[in-house]
Structure formats: structure tokens, C-alpha cells
């Protein structure tokens, strides 16, 4: 039995062990080779090449709408008897510019344009043929999407991040957004990576390729075994069976029944109750403070009344004294005047 046949049988066993087809979300920067990789996977599985999705470049968007490619429907019509069950659904998306992961809104914390879109995709909230370019532009203007209901049948089961080998700059901001949405949020999705365009890369020695694999794995925070180094299929170009085998082994990993989504559950919390002793102490302290305050103002009021009363009494006494002094002087003057007249 050939090596390719062995891997195909393993792939079929994994598919048979699944309860339903897996939804595999393909993400990457502009011109990373997402659509070309999808065409390559379908070619390897069906044995025939066809441009199932349009291929673009790094300068413009070719894929602008959400496309769900059901491999079950694309299987070779002449070989339906050997068609395995639960073939994965590949979800092609718009190229995500790394800049879209640096425009966090101050009103929404650290949420970026890319992270908002990725979150909706992961939870199956974006319908078929949805205009993703319009969504990205709307998010960029600070607009909010209306509440969308999640479709569990379209929720993502695995994510493949596509990075071109000929790009010296790793889109770190985009990878960070993917990591957060896939591992930090409630629905935790397994993440894989495909490094495409290895045929255009000058790295030939095996140790250099492994260094590239390790570097990419560290950037996206996944196990290096989940990183595939490959070249996309090109029509009228010699194709090596080794490429088929490596891609099939990678798809076996994607459809491994032991690698699954985790819908995490979170504990419900409430504010701690106020202890009665502490509450009583606070009430008692508050009451004592209020009483002390009332006593202070009561005493101050009484002292004020006393001071005013004393002032009034003193003023009256001074006034009476002055009146008495004037009357006494008048009487004394009159007395001396009378005596003087008598002597005369």
C-alpha cells in the first residue's frame, strides 16, 4: 500500500469518527494564498483541479464575500461510492489587513476592526455571501453591527491561518487578534497555520525550514506540529506526491476527533454581602458622629445665646449708669446753686 493511500485511510477514519462536518475558517492577510490553498486542498482530495475560488494578490481584494465550500458537494461525481462522510466545510474570507488590528476603539476597549469580524465569524453569525468588505469599512467608521443570532451549524470548529513564506514581515497584530478571539473568548477554537509559497522561498535546507516553522508557531502561539509548510498547486506544473501527503496529513490533524472546540463555562459571581457586625459598627459610628455633631452645635448655640444676653445686660447696665450719673450731676448742681443763693 502506498504512503498516500495510508494517509487517505487515516483521514477517512477521522471523518467517520466525527458526528458532523467541521467548519474550517481560513484567515490571512491580503495575498497570503488563502484561496489558492483552498483550491489545492480540494484538488488533493478529489484528484482533479478546478479554480473553485478566485485567486487574488496582495494589492487588492478578490474575495470580498463569505464563501462556504462544502467538500461533500464538490466530491468527484464519478466516485461517489468511495466518498467519505463528514468532509469539512472550508470557509473562505476576505483578506484581513494587518492595519485593521491596530485601530482599537477607545469606546470599546481593545476591540479592533479585525477582532470584531473574527468574533462574528467564529460564532457563526455571518450569513452566506455576506459582504465582508462593507462590514470592515463600517467597523472602521466606528459603526456597530445590529444584534445577530448565532447559527450553531455554522459556528467555526477550526481556524487555519495562512501566511506566505516570501513575506519577511509576520502580521503580528493580526495574529494577536486571531489568538485572542480563538482562545480568550468563551468559544475556544483550535488554531492551525499554513505557510504557503514555499516554492518561492529561498530557504532550502531542512533545518532552515524547521526554523521557519518554529518562528511562525511562536508568533501565533501554537504547537509547531500544527504548522504546515507547503506550496499551492499550480495547473500545468509538475506536482510531487510528497506535497499531497503533507497536505493530507495536515487535514487529518484538522479533522482529528480528539482536537475539538471547547465551549467554556464561566462561574457566576455576585458582590460580597455586607457583614452585619461591620454594618452595625458603621451605623453605630455614624450615629455617634451625628450625636457628637448635634451636641457641638447645641452647645455652640447655647453659648451664643448666653453671649448675646450678657452683651445686652452689660449694655443696659452701662446705659442705666450713664443716665444715673447725669441725674446725679443735675441734682448736685441744683443743690449748690440753691445754697449759693441763700448765702447771698
pLDDT of 201-224, one tens digit each? 766 667 778 888 899 999 999 999
Query: Concatenated DSSP letters for 247-298?
Result: HHHHHHHHT-TTS--EE-------PPPPPHHHHHHHHHHHHHHHHHHHHHHH
Domain end position, chosen among 206, 237, 263 = 263
Please check whether residues 56 and 190 belong to one and the same domain.
Answer: yes
pLDDT averaged per 10 residues, the chain (length 344): 88 95 94 88 83 62 82 69 86 86 53 91 92 90 84 94 86 92 90 89 72 90 94 79 92 96 87 68 55 70 84 84 68 55 53
Q: Quick count: other Cβ atoms within 10 Å of Cβ 256?
A: 16
67 and 140 together in one domain:
yes
**Residue finishing a domain among 236, 263, 290:** 263
Nearest-angstrom CA–CA distance, 275 and 291: 24
Residue 270 inside a domain? The answer is: no
Residue closest to 190 by CA, chosen among 216, 154, 227: 227
Secondary structure (3-state) at 314? helix
**Vertex 90 angle, CA 88 and 96, to 5°:** 150
Residues 182 and 289 placed together within one structural domain of the fold: no
Distance CA 174, CA 213 (A): 18
Domain containing 73 equals 3-263
Looking at the fold, whether 180 and 292 belong to one and the same domain comes out as no
What is residue 33's three-state secondary structure? coil
251/287 same-domain check: no
Residue 123: predicted pLDDT:
93
Q: Which three cell numbers stand for residue 54?
A: 478566485
* 143 and 108, same domain (yes or no): yes
d(CA 92, CA 90): 6
Q: Which residues of 145-177 are buried (b: 16+ CB within 10 A; e: fewer)?
A: eeeeeeeeebbbbbbbbbbbbebeebbebbbbb
CA distance 83 to 11: 12
pLDDT (tens digit, 9 = 90+) per residue, 240-269? 788 899 999 999 999 999 999 998 888 888
Q: What whole-number distance in Å separates Cα of residue 117 and Cα of residue 126?
A: 9
CA 192/CA 161 separation, integer angstroms:
6
The CATH number covering residue 90 comes to 3.40.50.300
Among 210, 229, 263, identify where a domain stops: 263
Domain count, the chain: 2
- 268 occurs within a structural domain: no
286: its cell numbers: 455614624
Question: What was the pLDDT predicted at 302?
Answer: 82
Same-domain status, 297 and 202: no
pLDDT of residue 276: 59
Would you state the pLDDT for residue 332? 57
Amino acid at each position: 500500500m502506498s504512503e498516500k493511500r495510508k494517509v487517505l485511510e487515516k483521514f477517512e477514519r477521522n471523518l467517520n469518527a466525527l458526528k458532523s462536518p467541521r467548519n474550517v475558517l481560513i484567515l490571512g492577510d491580503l495575498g497570503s494564498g488563502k484561496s489558492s490553498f483552498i483550491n489545492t486542498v480540494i484538488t488533493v482530495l478529489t484528484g482533479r483541479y478546478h479554480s473553485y475560488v478566485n485567486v487574488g494578490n496582495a494589492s487588492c481584494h478578490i474575495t470580498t464575500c463569505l464563501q462556504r465550500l462544502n467538500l461533500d458537494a464538490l466530491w468527484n461525481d464519478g466516485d461517489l461510492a468511495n466518498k467519505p462522510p463528514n468532509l469539512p466545510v472550508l470557509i473562505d474570507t476576505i483578506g484581513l489587513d494587518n492595519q485593521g488590528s491596530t485601530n482599537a476603539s477607545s469606546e470599546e476597549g481593545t476591540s479592533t476592526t479585525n477582532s470584531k469580524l473574527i468574533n462574528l465569524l467564529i460564532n457563526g453569525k455571518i450569513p452566506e455571501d455576506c459582504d465582508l468588505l462593507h462590514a470592515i469599512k463600517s467597523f472602521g467608521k466606528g459603526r456597530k453591527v445590529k444584534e445577530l443570532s448565532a447559527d450553531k451549524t455554522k459556528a467555526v470548529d477550526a481556524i487555519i491561518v495562512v501566511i506566505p513564506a516570501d513575506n519577511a514581515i509576520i502580521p503580528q497584530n493580526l495574529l494577536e487578534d486571531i489568538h485572542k478571539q480563538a482562545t480568550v473568548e468563551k468559544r475556544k477554537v483550535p488554531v492551525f497555520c499554513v505557510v504557503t509559497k514555499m516554492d518561492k522561498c529561498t530557504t532550502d535546507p531542512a533545518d532552515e525550514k524547521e526554523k521557519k516553522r518554529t518562528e511562525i508557531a511562536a508568533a501565533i502561539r501554537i504547537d509547531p506540529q500544527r504548522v504546515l509548510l507547503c506550496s499551492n498547486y499550480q495547473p500545468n506544473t509538475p506536482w510531487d506526491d510528497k506535497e499531497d501527503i503533507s497536505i493530507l496529513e495536515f487535514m487529518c490533524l484538522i479533522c482529528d476527533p480528539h482536537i475539538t472546540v471547547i465551549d467554556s463555562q464561566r462561574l457566576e459571581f455576585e458582590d460580597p454581602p455586607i457583614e452585619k457586625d461591620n454594618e452595625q459598627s458603621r451605623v453605630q459610628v455614624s450615629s455617634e458622629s451625628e450625636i457628637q455633631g448635634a451636641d457641638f452645635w447645641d452647645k455652640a448655640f447655647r453659648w451664643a445665646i448666653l453671649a448675646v444676653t450678657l452683651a445686652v445686660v452689660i449694655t443696659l447696665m452701662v446705659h442705666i449708669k450713664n443716665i444715673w450719673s447725669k441725674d446725679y450731676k443735675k441734682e448736685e448742681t441744683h443743690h449748690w446753686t440753691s445754697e449759693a443763693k441763700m448765702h447771698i
